[in-house]
Structures are given as structure tokens and as C-alpha cells.
Amino acid sequence: MRTFDKRAREDKRAQKARDKAQRRLERQTNAVRREPEIVSASDIVGNLRSIEEVMQSLEKGPSREPHSAPTIPTKLFVGSLSDETTSADLRAHFEPYGEVAEAVVITHRGTNISRNFGFVTMADRKDAPAAINALHRSELDGKIIVVNIATEAR
């Protein structure tokens, strides 16, 4: 590499740096100081209701039904069931504690004999804790049953 080319590149780089510093200095000295613009709340968010209007609407209550999120079902495991317990019996036992979406007693595939456990799906997850607290270690068809939140099979 020739020394002349290297010096030319270095001079060009230095000139660019000087030009940039000069432009920055000009911008700082020529900058126009602007005063903040004064705006009202209605300019920013539109027309706002007065405090009196808001208080009146609160006293009247909501004008329409509030939006609610859809319910989330919860599946409960029910163990230690009697051989005679049916899905209808299981549903009837859980219904006082909330809406039951599904109640199933698991049976052996070949013989259709109860495997002594089942699942109850509560329509709303908020009902599940009350059902567990009330029915865990309760009696159903002469047997003490176990009620827990169902977990995935492993």
C-alpha cells in the first residue's frame, strides 16, 4: 500500500469529522428556542364529562350489563367410588356446589365394571374449591370418597 493513498484517506476522514462538528455547532447556535404549546384537556382526549355527570352515572348504576369473561371449566378427580355409583349419582352429589358440565364414572372397557374412580367437570373454576372442601372425605353410596383437582395422566 502506498503512503500517498493512506494519507489521502486519513485526510478525507479528518475532513468529514471536521464537517460534522461544524454542522453540529451550527445547529446548536441556530436552534430556535420554542416555547411549549399550551393545550387544554379537551384538545388531548376530547370532551370530558364533568364530575357531576360522572357522579350521577355512578349513582344510577351501569346503564347496561357489564361484560364478563367466559367461565373456565375445572376437572376434578373423584376416587374411592363404590361399585354401584353411576355417573348420574356422581352428578347429583356435586350439583349443590355449582353447575356440573360433566360427570363420568370410569369403567373397564371389556367388562363395563366400575374402576372405582371418575371425573367431574365443574362449569366454573370458582366453584371447584367449595366442592373439594365440602366433598373430600365425604360419603357416597357407603364409601368415603377422595376429591382433588385432576392432573394429566403420566
Is 96 within 8 Å of 135 (Cβ atoms)? no
CA dist list (Å): 141 to 2, 4, 89, 126, 144: 101, 103, 9, 27, 9
DSSP 3-state assignment of 78?
Answer: strand
Closest Cα partner for 75 from 141, 154, 148, 22? 148
Per-residue tens of pLDDT for the chain, all 154 residues: 577 888 889 999 999 999 999 998 888 877 666 677 777 766 776 677 778 888 888 877 665 556 677 889 999 999 999 999 999 999 999 999 999 999 999 999 999 999 999 999 999 999 999 999 999 999 999 999 999 999 987 6
pTM above 0.85, yes or no: no
Kindly state the cell numbers that stand for 63: 346503564
What residue type is 72 in one-letter code?
I
